[in-house]
Amino acid sequence: MASGLSIAVVGATGAAGQTTLRILEERKFPVRELRAFASERSVGKTVTFRGEPVTIQRVEPAAFKGVDIAFCSAGSAQSKEYAPMIVKAGATVIDKSNAFRMDPAVPLVVPEINAHAARSHRGILACPNCTTIVTVMPLKPLHDAGRLTRVIATSFQAVSGAGVNGIAELREQTLAWARGEAMVARHFPHQIAFNLVPAIDRIGPDGYTAEEMKLVNETRKILEAPGLPVAPTTVRVPVFTSHSISVTAETEVKITAGRARDLFARFPGLKLWDDPAQHRYPMPIAVEGQDDCFVGRIREDLSSPNGLSFWVVGDQLRKGAATNAVQIAELLLHS
């Protein structure tokens, strides 16, 4: 196309990078030129964008000259090294790793919730953790209507949240079970097929994992509620795609289940899916491939007069990562 932006995708061969390419196509983002980057072993290989092969380049300063926006889908260590270099080359970086999320100078953005934060960027904008994004989508309308005073959240996280190795491990173990063979754990610390693992990563001295603390700290930053009590538990489950979160939220002002349904139904990026009598509630298999987060099982908390419990599911590769990043880029287009 004659007009548009020069876009770079770092980590283009991974699950999040591949989904970013797909979302850029689907949302018809004005890409004039696409540059793809990945690890050294992938240099010279190709990825596909708009039906055309794009050769993977080596990450080096000269390769980013003329780039307008760079999506970083690499790990935190790589992002810390690459992002300042890419900004120095003249691009704006939208980073999906944990590298900059809690940096006070870096906006942590979910466009439906805090689009205003993007205006203060200094070259780098951060995408929240995928579980955080899915969780805060229904929390925001409750916070606006009744002011949150406490959140309890238990996440049930798909293996694709651990990347292509997580997907492969669940597939391999399931096939091994079907053949009557031993199931070997290579990527996860325990067998994931037909199992639940109640710790996504290393447990710290306080009993919480880094994944759980991301949910605490990022939720506070996004909602601009630094003192909000959040009690997290994260669980890895044998599901390929879409994270599910069981949430109990308490508010200063009581919000009934009926009022919550109305708030959720009107909030952009949320879909109300709540008719249990007809077995209608969000499930990963139904939400996979969707950009909206689906919320249901809405009921008032029996243990707290101002508590509300619900179940929310989101495709963590799309809204939890790639879609949210492209939405941030769309904000930059109109800023």
List the chain pLDDT tens, one digit each, 335 residues: 347 999 999 999 988 899 999 999 999 999 999 999 999 999 999 999 999 999 999 999 999 999 999 999 988 999 999 999 999 999 999 999 999 999 999 999 999 999 999 999 999 999 999 999 999 999 999 999 999 999 999 999 999 999 889 999 999 999 999 999 999 999 999 999 999 999 999 999 999 999 999 999 999 999 999 999 999 999 999 999 999 999 999 999 999 999 999 999 999 999 999 999 999 999 999 999 999 999 999 999 999 999 999 999 999 999 999 999 999 999 999 87
251/267 Cα distance (integer angstroms): 18
284/315 Cα distance (integer angstroms): 8
**Can you give the pLDDT at residue 287?**
98
33/37 Cα distance (integer angstroms): 13
Looking at domain 132-316, what is its CATH homologous superfamily?
Dihydrodipicolinate Reductase; domain 2 (3.30.360.10)
CATH 3.30.360.10 in the chain is located at: 132-316
pLDDT in tens, 92-113: 999 999 999 999 999 999 999 9
Closest CA to 308 of 139, 113, 156: 139
Q: Nearest-5° angle of CA 274, CA 275, CA 280?
A: 85
Three state DSSP letters for 270-300:
EEECCEHHHCECCCHHHHCCCCCEEEEEEEE
CA atoms within 13 A on the CB side of 11: 26
pLDDT in tens, 46-56: 999 999 999 99
Residue 319's alpha-carbon distances to 69, 107, 326, in angstroms, are 19, 18, 9
Closest CA to 273 of 250, 302, 242: 242
Residues involved in catalysis: 130, 243
CATH class of 5-128+321-333: alpha beta
Report CA 278 to chain centroid distance, whole Å.
30
262/272 Cα distance (integer angstroms): 9
Burial per residue of 42-64, b for 16 or more beta-carbon CB atoms within 10 angstroms, e otherwise: beeeebebeeeebebbebeeeeb
Element (H, E) at 142: helix 130-146
Report residue 237: phi and psi, to 5°.
Answer: -125, 160
**Can you give the pLDDT at residue 3?**
79
One DSSP character per residue, 51-72 reads TEEEEEEP--GGGGTT-SEEEE
CATH 3.40.50.720 in the chain is located at: 5-128+321-333
Find the helix packing angle between 130-146 and 257-266, rounded to 10°.
120
